[in-house]
Every structure is written in structure tokens, then in C-alpha cells.
Structure 1
Amino acid sequence: MHVNALTDVGLVRKDNEDNYLVSADRGLFVVADGMGGHLGGAVASSMAIKVIDEEIREPHLEENPSRLLHTALLKANSLILQQGQSENLCGMGTTVTAALFQKGSIYIAHIGDSRAYLYRDQALTLLTQDHSLVNELLQKGGITVEEAQYHPQRNILTRALGTQVLPQIDFTTTPALPGDMLLLCTDGLSNHVTDQEIKTVLSEESNLKQKVKHLVNLALERGGNDNITVVLVQYE
């Protein structure tokens, strides 16, 4: 398993509220995009990463991987809610998209609008659905894909970790095949770079580091108005 990751503050924001976790030995990869209050977003995303890292320390092959992820995210949610009671952190929360490679499969836990993509056999598949107001409008046919890309409310989330006692978390599982590439990213990438462009970059004859850098540079060239985080894993 090979992996490369990069986070960039972007060209507009002063602080980076994104965080990520890369642990190839455990097959554990996570991106989190914080939100809310002065420094609240950075605190929330950092807490989520820390808790997931602590809860999934070693491969638990006898346990259900989705259950492991669920337990970790619920614990993170509880701690973020508790910490969010303080005045300067009120209203903070975070997206989380986590992937765990176990038992020949990729287990995904997801809440918010960070994304997981699978690149296999020159095809790109989005494994997650954005929990956002704009995506709800899109699914209901209220707006087009083009309108969604530039919608003024595209950053409004309908779900996030740390915003309610019992968060609704999505789970998906897909087989892991040799040569697969898994891409985790925050919306700082997906709001600027289209799926077709992501597919083109992943198909290039370049190493993972070059692919990740190319994707981040594309987002920066389009304005870089948000933090950008990319984690790219190649399964062997």
C-alpha cells in the first residue's frame, strides 16, 4: 500500500481548519474539515482525527470494521459536543470521511461534504454523497450540476460531526483490488476541480506525490478560497 497526502491553507483563509490522518500499517485514512467559531473548526477537526487515531490503534480482524469506525466517530462526536459548550468554541463541528482497509475491502464512514473517490480500471466512482443543502437540491432536481458548482449556499451542511447528539453517519463497503486508488479530499478540492479533472490527473503516468500536488495546484489556480486537503492511497 502506497500513500501520499497534502494539505494547503489556500489563498484566502488565514487558518487551516482541515486535518488528516494517514496510517498505512493500519490501513486507516481520514480527512476532516472543521467549521464554526474562532478556531473552532480547527479544534473540531483535530479532535475528530485524534479520537479516531486513538480508537483504531491496531487491526481488529475479529471485529466489524464499520462498527469500529462508527464507535470512533460517535466518541469523537460526543467529545466535540462537550468541548463546544465553551463560549469561544460554540457551534463548532467537522466533516469526517474515514477509510479502513481490512479483510480485502475498503470500509468508509462519512458525514459532511468531504469526499471519497475510487479510481479503478480508468473509471472514477464517487463513494460518498455530500450532506449539504446544495446536494439535496441537486438530488431533488431543483438545480443542475453546473448550478450546484457555483451555488452561493454550497458550503451549508445538513450533517456534521459535533452538531447533534446522535449524528447520522453513512457507511459503504467496496472490495479492494490491486491497483485501486482511493482519494479522500475536503471540499476545497471538490468545489474547484471537477470529477473529470480528478480522473484525468489520476490516470496520468506520474507517482502519487505528483498526482496529489497536481490536484492541489488545480484548486489553487481556480482561486483556492478554502483549505485544500488530499489523501491518495494506492492498494497493492
Structure 2
Amino acid sequence: MRWSAVTDTGLVRPNNEDNHRVNEALGLFAVADGMGGHQAGEVASRLALTVLEEQFQELVQQGEETGNALLYAVEAANRQVFEESCRSNRCNGMGTTLSACLIAEEGLILAHVGDSRVYLVRAGEIFQLTEDHSVVQELLNEGRITAEEVPGHPYRNVLSRALGTGEQLEIDLLRVPLQAGDRVLLCTDGLTNMVSDAAIQAVVAGYGDPDQAVRELVRLALEQGGSDNITLILVVL
């Protein structure tokens, strides 16, 4: 297994509210895109990933099944971020997306909240494993808008679900079998709002070196305007 990770503030935002976490020994990879004023988004994303890693490791050491451990760790992260937002006026109302992957012998286990995404690129094809928890995605699912209307929709960046915004949280948990040669990409919407799935597929499949691939994806996002923070992790099996 090889991997590469990168984060970039972009060309418009004054600070970077994205964070990412890699613990290769645990097989844990995660990205988070924070939200909230006065840099509270950065606090939310960083705190969520710290709690996620610590709780997951502790639960696994206690003998918890890995999928349950990942789920419980995300729930713990949600509680911590929510409690911090209630304690601090500066952090009031903060939250974050979270997409976390556990890559193990049994395959990929994925926990997801928000609109950061996880893709699988296999044999030259790209598959979006996550579904965005956004108002626009709900409208699309209900047939009230078309896919062509999504990029310019005024509610495109409004989340319907985010970590840390309430005591209870619905978390998507998926299990996906993996094959040798698979490539798993975790990314925030600073990439996906700027670069099409087809272009992402071409880069991820076309570069043998994950370091080169992530640098090229960031370059493309910046070339298209870089309107948001850009964070991604690419894992090559």
C-alpha cells in the first residue's frame, strides 16, 4: 500500500479550515472540512480528527470489531465537537464534514458525514462511494432539480448533515471489497467543485506515483479558480 496526502488553502479563502489524518499502522485515513466563523471551522475539523484517531485506536485495542470501532469513534468525535461549540462563544455553531476510511485485509470500511467524498478508481473506472449530505443532493434525489442545475445552484454548499452540530448524528457506514490495484481517493469539496469526476479519474488512473497524482489534482483545482480549501488523500493498493 502506498499513499500521499496534500492540503492547500486555495486562491480565495484567507485560511485553511480543512484537515486530514493518516495513521498507516491502523489503516486509517480521513479528511474533514470545517465550517464556522472566526476560524472555528479549523477547530472543528482538527478536533474531530484527533478524537476519531484516539478513540478508534483505543476501541480496537479493547477488542472492538473494526467497523463498530470506526462508527463509535465518529460518534465520539461528534460529541466532542458539539460540546466544544456549546462551551465557547467563538466556536458556537461550528461543525465539520468527516469522511474516514479504514483499509484492512477485509476491505474498505467507510464512515461518512457531509459532502467530502470518497472515490474508488478501479480498472480505469471511477465510482463515488459516498453520497453528499447536502440540500442540493436531496433536491436531486427527489427529482426537483437536474444534475445540470447542481453546479450553479444557490444552495450547492448548504449541508443537510454535519458533524458537531447536534448531540445525535446519522452516520453512513459502508463496507466495500477491495482488489489489488485499486485506488481510494478521499477529498474535500475544494477539489470536487472545481474538477470533474472524469478529470479526477484520468489523473488518479494515469499517474503511477500517488505523490504526482495529488499534486496534479491540486494544480487542476487551482487552475479552475481554487475557490475553496483543497485537501485529498490518495491510497494505492
Q: TM-score, normalised by structure 1?
A: 0.96
For the 8 Å contact 2:59–2:69, the answer to whether it is kept is no
1:220-231, aligned counterparts within 5 Å? Answer: 220-231=222-233
Amino acid at match of 2:75: L
Tell me the CA shift for residue 56 of structure 1: 2.3
Tell me the CA shift for residue 88 of structure 1: 1.0
1:14 aligns with 2:27: no
* Aligned position for 2:55: 55
Aligned length: 235
The alpha-carbon distance between structure 1 residues 59 and 181, as it changes in their structure 2 partners (threshold 3 A), is farther
Q: 1:111 aligns with which of 96, 110, 113?
A: 113
Q: Which moved more, 1:46-55 or 1:197-206?
A: 197-206
Tell me the CA shift for residue 103 of structure 1: 3.4
* Aligned position for 1:151: 153
* Aligned position for 1:215: 217
1:33 aligns with 2:33: yes
1:130 aligns with 2:132: yes
For the 8 Å contact 1:26–1:58, the answer to whether it is kept is no
Q: Helix, strand or coil: the match of 1:88?
A: coil
Looking at structure 2, the residues matched to 81 and 23 of structure 1 have their Cα atoms a distance apart, in angstroms, of 24
* Aligned position for 1:5: 5
Looking at structure 2, the residues matched to 163 and 80 of structure 1 have their Cα atoms a distance apart, in angstroms, of 8
Looking at structure 1, the residues matched to 175 and 213 of structure 2 have their Cα atoms a distance apart, in angstroms, of 25
Q: Deviations over 1:100-125 (max 9, x none)?
A: 01232100000000000001111111
Runs (4+) of structure 1 exceeding 4 A deviation are none
For the 8 Å contact 1:133–1:158, the answer to whether it is kept is yes
Looking at structure 1, the residues matched to 224 and 145 of structure 2 have their Cα atoms a distance apart, in angstroms, of 22
Structure 1: which 5+ runs fail to align? none
* Aligned position for 2:199: 197
The alpha-carbon distance between structure 1 residues 25 and 59, as it changes in their structure 2 partners (threshold 3 A), is farther
Looking at structure 2, the residues matched to 21 and 184 of structure 1 have their Cα atoms a distance apart, in angstroms, of 11
* Aligned position for 2:174: 172
